[in-house]
Chain A
Amino acid sequence: MAVTVVVMARSRNLFGVVVLGGLYSFLMATVLVAMDAVDVAMTEASVGAGISTVLFLGALYLCRSEETRPVRKPWLPLAVSMTVGVVLVYGTLGLPEFSDPQAPIHTHVVPRYLNEIKQEVDVPNVVTAVLASYRGYDTLGETTVVFTAGAGVIALLRRRRKDRAS
């Protein structure tokens, strides 16, 4: 994955960058499968590697596929992003270790979900049960967000087309 990122940052051919982005998504999905998050891995593979690659290619079709040289040296953005990255990594040091059973996330509501899901919902895939039943309001909100995003895209792109026609 690190190799992919370095090649993506150095390459100036945007088509190659898009393909490498899809590759990165597939690698990420593999990592997620290794961490037993199959649902998230599936989403990453289909959205990250599938749909967004197609959308990037569509955008690439509209512009030139060779990145232009930047006008200024990117030192300030580089410094900002490095700082943020270091701060984020520093933040993860305070997190409990991966698959630590004593982590707060495992002691709050998870035991209740895992113990009572058999009597209450009886759906073998706990992720689906939590998403659609226990956290039904959140998922309703997410669906509305997806809908709003689609409506926003329609509103933006359709007006452009009308302007061109007139």
Chain B
Amino acid sequence: MRHDLVLRVIAKLLIPFILLFALYVQFHGDFGPGGGFQAGVILAAAVIFYGLIFGLAEARKLVPEPLVESMMAIGVLIYGGVGVAGLLLGGHYLDYFVLDPNSVLGQHRGIFWVEVGVATTVSGVMLKIFYMFADRGKVDEE
């Protein structure tokens, strides 16, 4: 598959748009359909697509494994951190009203960061599972 010109060109054309769409779904989740989970999956799918066409090693070079593994944990930590930030500012855990003097803006801010956390964890986990599965085949061949 490494020398398939059509696939490579199409992939190079499509992947930027997939990434852009993931960002759109992420940051437009407040207004249209979508949100952190969907954006995370689309982001992971873009990298998986790249890995399928250009080989696993190239994808690993692009998105190294330690980054993927730490993304899994960082996402949950961001989410929990939003809760703790609410605590520190004098509210309840996961209380967004206190994140900004204007309570509606506080809600916006809280939802934004929570969605970022969800997207980070989801794309990390999806990529990690893909790497793990794709790796099994190589181990078996050796």
* A contacts, CB < 8 Å to B: 38-39, 41-43, 46-47, 50-51, 54-55, 58-59, 61-62, 119-125, 127-129, 131-133, 136-137, 139-140, 142-144, 146-147, 149-151, 153-154, 157-158, 160-161, 164
Contacts and interface: CB of A to CB of B under 8 A. Distances in A.
A128 B111 contact: yes
B137 A154 contact: no
A104 B135 CA distance: 49
Contacts of A139: 79, 114, 118
5 contacts: A142-B118, A149-B125, A150-B125, A154-B132, A157-B132
Query: SS class of chain B's interface: helix, strand, loop or mixed?
Result: helix
B73 interface: yes
Contacts of A150: 72, 121, 124-125, 128-129
B100 to A, nearest CB: 12
Contacts of A55: 129-130, 133
Interface of B: 25, 29-38, 41-42, 44-45, 48, 52, 69, 72-73, 75-76, 79-80, 83, 94, 96, 103-104, 107-108, 110-111, 114-115, 117-118, 121-122, 124-126, 128-130, 132-137, 139-140
Contact of A144 (B35, B37, B42, B76): B76
B128 A154 contact: yes
B41 A43 contact: yes
Contact of A131 (B35, B75, B124, B130): B35
Nearest to A123: B30
Contacts of B45: 46, 50-51, 54
Contact of B33 (A39, A47, A140, A158): A39
A130 to B, nearest CB: 10
Nearest to A46: B41
Contacts of B41: 43, 46-47, 50-51
B25 A133 contact: no
Given A132-B114, A161-B139, A143 B33 contact: no
Contact of A140 (B52, B83, B129): B83
Nearest to B32: A125
A45 B34 CA distance: 12
B38 A42 contact: yes
A137 B137 CA distance: 39
Contact of B115 (A132, A137, A154, A164): A132
A113 to B, nearest CB: 13
A22 to B, nearest CB: 13
B140 to A, nearest CB: 7
A132 B35 contact: yes
Contacts of A42: 25, 33-34, 38
